Amino acid sequence: MTAQRVAVIGLGSMGSGMAQSLLRAGFAVTGCDVDPATVARFVAADGEGAATPAEAAKDAMVVVSVVVTAAQTETILFGAHGVAESLAKDAVFVSSATMAPEAARALAGSSQAFVKARGALEAMAATIYELGEAPGQGAAFKMINQLLAGVHIAVASEAMAFAARQGLDLKRVYEVITRSAGNSWCFENRMSHVLENDYTPRSAIEIFVKDLGIVEDMARAARFPVPMASTALQLYLMTAAAGMGRDDDSSVARLYAQIAGIDLTGSL
C-alpha cells in the first residue's frame, strides 16, 4: 500500500513543523517554498521537493497552504504554476493563512472537504475544531484568537519593561506572574524569549501588524470599536518602524526598553 501524499506549500516555521508531523505520521510529503534552499533542507530531512505549487499538488490528495496572507493563498491557487493547474478533482486544499472571514468565504470549498482532510489534520494538530458548515467561521474564530494574543503580547511586553523600570528581578516577575491571575499563554510563552534575550522570529512582529490590521478592518466595517486591539496594533507598528518588523513579536518589549533606556536581560 502506498502512503497517501500530502503537499505542504510554504515551509516557514509553521509549515516545516507541519510537514515534519505529516512525515512522522507516515504520509508521503512534497514540500514547496519560494526559497529553493528551504526546499533543499526539507528534502535532506526525508521529504520530497517541488519547484512550483502546480508540481507539488500533482499527485497529492491533500494540499496544505501555509503562507501568511489571503493574497498569497490566492496566488498559490490561481497564479502561474498554481495548484489549480494540477490538483486532482477529488483532492482537497487546506488554507492555513489567517485571513478575514470574507476572504475565506471567497475561497470556500465544500463541507465534505473536511472529511477528506481529516487524516492529515489529525497528523498536524493536537485538537481539531469543526466550527460549522458556513465558510469563514474558522477564520472568524481565528481573528478573535489573534485579537487576544496580539493584545496579550503587547501588554506582557509593557508589564515586563515596567517591572524592569521599577527595579524588579525579571526572572522572579516571570515566576510569580506565571502562577498568578495576571498570567496568559502569551505571557508565559513570549516573555521566556525576553528573559533569554533571544529575538529570533518564531512569529514576527509583521504577523501581528497584518492580523490586528485585519481585526481593525473587520471592526471598522462592522462599526464596532476595538480600542484594545487598536492600541496594540500601534505598538506593533512602532516596533516595525524601529526596524524590528522581522524579529520575534516579543520585540515589543525591546521597543519599550529602547524608549525608556532600560535593560531587560537582568543585568540592571
Q: Which residues in this chain contact its own copies in the complex, by CB under 8 A? A: 101, 127, 129, 131, 137, 140-141, 143-149, 151-152, 154-156, 158-159, 161-163, 165-168, 172-173, 176-177, 179-187, 189, 215, 218-219, 222-232, 234-235, 256, 259-260
CB of 180 to its own copies, least distance (A): 5
Residue 142 designated active-site: yes
Q: Which is nearer to its own copies, 85 or 158 (CB)?
A: 158
Q: Which is nearer to its own copies, 64 or 212 (CB)?
A: 212
> Which residues are CB-neighbours of 20 under 8 A, at least 6 positions away?
45
Q: Is 40 in contact with 51 (CB distance < 8 Å)? A: no
Torsion sign across C-alpha atoms 105, 226, 190, 128:
negative
Give which of 128, 154, 141, 134 is closest to 100, Cα–Cα: 141
**Which H helix or E strand runs over 9?**
strand 5-9
CB of 144 to its own copies, least distance (A): 5
Which strands form 92-95's sheet, in the order they lie side by side? 48-49, 28-32, 5-9, 62-65, 92-95
Residues 89 and 142: their CA atoms lie apart, in Å, by 28
Of the listed 116, 142, 171, 210, which one is catalytic? Answer: 142
**Torsion angle (degrees, nearest 10) of CA 227, 103, 204, 44:** 160
Give which of 225, 201, 210, 212 is closest to 154, Cα–Cα: 212
Q: Which is nearer to its own copies, 34 or 192 (CB)?
A: 192
Q: Which is nearer to its own copies, 9 or 103 (CB)?
A: 103
CB of 216 to its own copies, least distance (A): 11
Q: Which is nearer to its own copies, 77 or 194 (CB)?
A: 194
Q: Is 193 in contact with 250 (CB distance < 8 Å)? A: yes
CB of 227 to its own copies, least distance (A): 5
Q: Which residues are catalytic?
A: 142
